Amino acid sequence: MKTTSIANAIPLTQPGVGLRRRFYIGVTLLMGIVVVTGFWATYFGPLVRGTIAQPLLIHVHATVFAGWLALFLAQATLAATGHVSWHMKLGRWGIGYGILLIGVGLTTTVLRSAGQVIAGENGARLLYVGFFDMALFSIFFGAAIGRGGRLVAAISQITDIQRAQSEQQRIQRHHQRRGGDDYYSDQSHKTTDWWLITGGW
C-alpha cells in the first residue's frame, strides 16, 4: 500500500541548516572573545594576575554577565546539535536569569553613577549609557520570549506529526506481515488504525 506521510507537508530539514547552526555557535564564541578582550586590561587581566582591586558589586556584575554569555553559548549549541527539549528546558530557566541580569545591570549603573557624583565627577554619561543598554537588552529579551513561545508551539505540533507518522508506519508494517494490502480493503480497519495513530484527533 502506498501512503502519503503527513509530516512531508512540513520541511524539517532545509539546505544550509548546518551552515546556519555553525554560524550561530561561531557568533556566540566571537561575542565571548570580544568581551574578554575588551575587559582584559581593566578586569580579566588583573583578575588572572591576582592584582584586581574592584568592589564586590563589580565582581557580581561580571559574574552574572559572563554567566549569561555561557548560557547563550549553551543554548546555541543545544539547538544546533538537535537537543531541542534541553534547549527549551534551559530556556525557561534562562528567562529568570535574564531578569536577574537586567536587575544587576541597572543596580550597577545607578550605584556606579552615584559614586562618580559623590567623587565630584559627572555620572550622567554612565547613567544614560547603562539605562540605554538595559532598555535595548530588555526589548530583544522580550521579543525572544515571545518568539520562543510560538516556536515551542510549532515544535510541539511537528513532534506530534512525527509521532503519528512513526506509529502509522509501525502499524502498516505489522499488518503487512499479517495480511498484506488486503488488510486495508476493510474501511473499518483504516478508521481503527487512524484512531490508534492520532489518539482521536
pLDDT 10s per residue in the chain (201 long)? 444 443 343 344 455 566 777 888 888 899 999 999 999 999 999 999 999 999 999 999 999 999 999 999 998 898 888 888 898 889 889 999 999 999 999 999 999 999 999 999 988 999 999 999 999 999 999 988 887 666 555 555 565 566 666 666 766 766 666 655 554 454 445 454 544 445 544
**Residue 124, all three cell numbers:** 550622567
Q: Distance between CA 75 and CA 24 in Å, rounded?
A: 10
Query: Residue 159: what pLDDT?
Result: 58
Select from 136, 144, 14 the least CA-distant residue to 71.
Answer: 144
Q: Distance between CA 125 and CA 131 in Å, rounded?
A: 10
Query: Residue 161: what pLDDT?
Result: 66
**Residue 127, all three cell numbers:** 547613567
pLDDT for 53-85, tens place per residue?
Answer: 999 999 999 999 999 999 999 988 988 888 888
Contact 198, 164 (CB under 8 A): yes
b (16+ CB within 10 A) / e for 45-83: eeeeeeeeeeeeebeebbebbeebbebbbebbbbbbeee
- What does DSSP assign to residue 121? S
Query: Residue 10: what pLDDT?
Result: 39
Query: Residue 118: what pLDDT?
Result: 92
| pTM of structure | 0.66
- What does DSSP assign to residue 40? I
User: Which residues neighbour 70 within 8 Å (Cβ) at sequence distance 6 or greater?
Assistant: none
**Residue 95, all three cell numbers:** 528567562
